[in-house]
Amino acid sequence: MNITIVGSGYVGLVTGTCFAEMGNHVTCIDIDQEKIDKLKQGIIPIYEPGLDTMVLKNVKNGSLHFSTNLEDGLRNSKVVFIAVGTPMGQDGSADLQYVLSVASEIGQKIQKPMAVVDKSTVPVGTADRVADVIQKELNKRQENIEFHVVSNPEFLKEGAAIQDFMKPDRIVIGADHEIAFQTMRDLYAPFTHNHDRMIEMDIRSAEMTKYVANAMLATKISFMNEIANICELVDADVNQVRIGIGSDSRIGYSFIYPGSGYGGSCFPKDVKALKKIAEDKGYSAGLISSVEEVNDKQKLVIAEKVVKRFGEDLSGKTFAIWGLAFKPGTDDMREAPSIYIAKELVRRGAKIKAYDPKAMHEAKTFYLKDTSNITYYDSKYETLGEANAMILLTEWKEFRSPDFEELKMKLIEPVIFDGRNQYSHLRLEEKGLEYYQIGKRTEFSNGQ
């Protein structure tokens, strides 16, 4: 099938590349000429395991093309995906200017019947607005071309997006016409060959499903972090509590690991957007608001532990930070706890020595570029020299089994703050290390 993907960012590029991998002829469109030129050369603007190899393979075999001209794609396509950004507005709502701009251009240039698929995460009712915009442009042209707007939300995890797309848990399709449903069945048939994972529903329910899915996962994270904080107060161990409740099949173990809060491009934005959707209808979403409030506080819990251990004034202190990305497997630092923790420690006079396998360029050029007293290193052990403590903030595999004797030798003081509870099972105190984690009370060496 001939497909056009408008927007060659994270979602658009992964979507287009995976469709091309299954034998479709895909044209990815973007208004950024520099990005398109780099993609044609095989230079990928994001880090996602396996994506660069798959892009190069499909460009080489002619299945995947890149262009800045929408007409190049629409000319022969049966389906056009809208996969542009929906940044968060100041009031928490999703900004639809790019989605509606693409819809307008589709209306101006469409020449044949087509399915127009919203792949971007958009508020309930967006498909209606997209259809209205396209129809208005067709009316101006005095053209009568059949089109159907479809909602097909993405459920890609950063760091595992290729796997998620090629072997999906579910494929949600929202449409209002059998022609649209059949087109999407044909398109996704190779991905559902062994098991039918397609769920068909009305458009508004499909639009709502994406927000609810992310809000549910964010709720589990904030709930467990709230429990972790309570555990510290009553001298319980949240790591044991997690095992105790996770063994209940109704609860399970997914997303109940305590830590420094969630970040990334989806959870923070989608929780805020869902809250705003409710507010616009006159409903106060108390639970959703609490999820956000707990998460905002949780991002500074590790910084608060550092202050309890070393004092309010951190002048003259240096801290090694292992991990800057909001999660392993990505270079994404959007809303990462590391941003808030690093800034808070620097605000109190500390110096930071940081290392991350993939996200240091993002930190240097954007997220922490205006934060002074941060130095970046090429390996985790290089950060330890002359540091008063190590702070773990991203659970990259290379951090799972470090040489603790080397940590003790290089750090000024053998202190570890674990923002992801990666070492909670190792009894580090018996190895001569001061170990502070989330959800288990530890007496600070200064008596607090």
Q: Which residues are catalytic?
A: 266
Strands (E) in 221-291, as ranges, are: none
Rg (the chain; Cα; Å): 24
Terminal-residue alpha carbon distance, the chain: 65
Instruction: Find residue 440's DSSP bridge partners.
Output: 237
Pairing status of strand 389-392 against strand 318-322: parallel
Neighbours of 187 (CB within 10 A): 22
- The rounded distance, in Å, linking the Cα atoms of 46 and 9 is 8
- The rounded distance, in Å, linking the Cα atoms of 141 and 131 is 15
Instruction: Find residue 318's DSSP bridge partners.
Output: 351
Neighbours of 58 (CB within 10 A): 22
- The rounded distance, in Å, linking the Cα atoms of 385 and 388 is 9
Task: Quote the tokens at residue 119.
Answer: 């792949």
* Side-chain half-sphere exposure of 404, counting CA atoms within 13 A: 16
- The rounded distance, in Å, linking the Cα atoms of 82 and 418 is 40
